Amino acid sequence: MESQPFALRNKYWVLRHGRSVPNERGLIVSSLTHGKLPEYGLAPEGVQQAKAAGESFLMELKTNNIALENVRICYSPFARTRETAEVVASVLNIPFGSQLCKYSEIWALDEVDPFMAPEGGESVADVSARLAKALATMEAEFHGFAVLVVSHGDPLQILQTILQASTQNEYASDLVSRIRGVIVPNILSQHRKHALLTGELRRVA
């Protein structure tokens, strides 16, 4: 049986949060309890990066003839991602979209074994499965929208990896099945190839 062509209902961009206070202090703030605190939000440079990303996103929307009413911003609840999303929304002059679930930071351990979780955290495979559900939710909720996902470096790297691999998975027609089919070590271990700088905007689908 011939597989159906892979097509998402929406266009997707990802944006890594701007440079944050923890970045400047060399701190790792990965728990939601601390991550939501205002003192762990954007540094002044990060605000400027978010503004620049918003202006770049606005240009891409115009290039793709996408009306602002067809834009949704989904973001992690951490202060640095929420503030980044707020700045972008202010540049676009639109309200926030829906909020994605929180992400834990993933360390170098995932390059050795992407199915092995760091203590107190998630493996790349865990994050991939959760991202698949989040993407399926966005695909079910939105149709014909431009969706900007504002999150952290590692989850966005993983999201790009599984999306790219999914387009080449010919053994399933629906999105979730395609993604499940690519949650394998040799694919997931490559996610750092999709690294993003702070404040970097990228079209992914």
| Domains of the chain, first to last | 11-203 (3.40.50.1240)
Q: What is the pLDDT of residues 89-111, one digit of tens each?
A: 999 998 775 544 333 333 233 33
Sequence letter at residue 13: W
What is the pLDDT, as a whole number, of residue 61? 97
Judge whether 88 and 48 are in contact, CB under 8 Å. Answer: no
What is the pLDDT, as a whole number, of residue 203? 95
Judge whether 159 and 131 are in contact, CB under 8 Å. Answer: yes
What is the pLDDT, as a whole number, of residue 172? 66
What is the pLDDT, as a whole number, of residue 120? 57
- What's the pTM? 0.83
What is the pLDDT, as a whole number, of residue 118? 53
What is the distance between the alpha carbons of residues 127 and 64, in angstroms, rounded to a whole number? 30
Of 125, 136, 141, 134, whose CA–CA distance to 186 is shortest?
Answer: 125
Find residue 99's DSSP bridge partners. 75
What is the pLDDT, as a whole number, of residue 106? 32
Tokens encoding 121: 């955290």
* CA end-to-end span of the chain: 26
The residue with tokens 């990896």 is 161
Per-residue pLDDT of the chain (205 residues; tens, 9 = 90+): 454 556 788 999 999 999 999 889 888 887 778 888 889 899 999 999 999 999 999 999 999 999 999 999 988 888 999 999 999 999 999 877 554 433 333 323 333 444 445 555 677 888 888 888 888 888 888 899 999 999 888 889 988 988 888 877 666 667 777 888 888 888 888 888 999 999 999 999 8
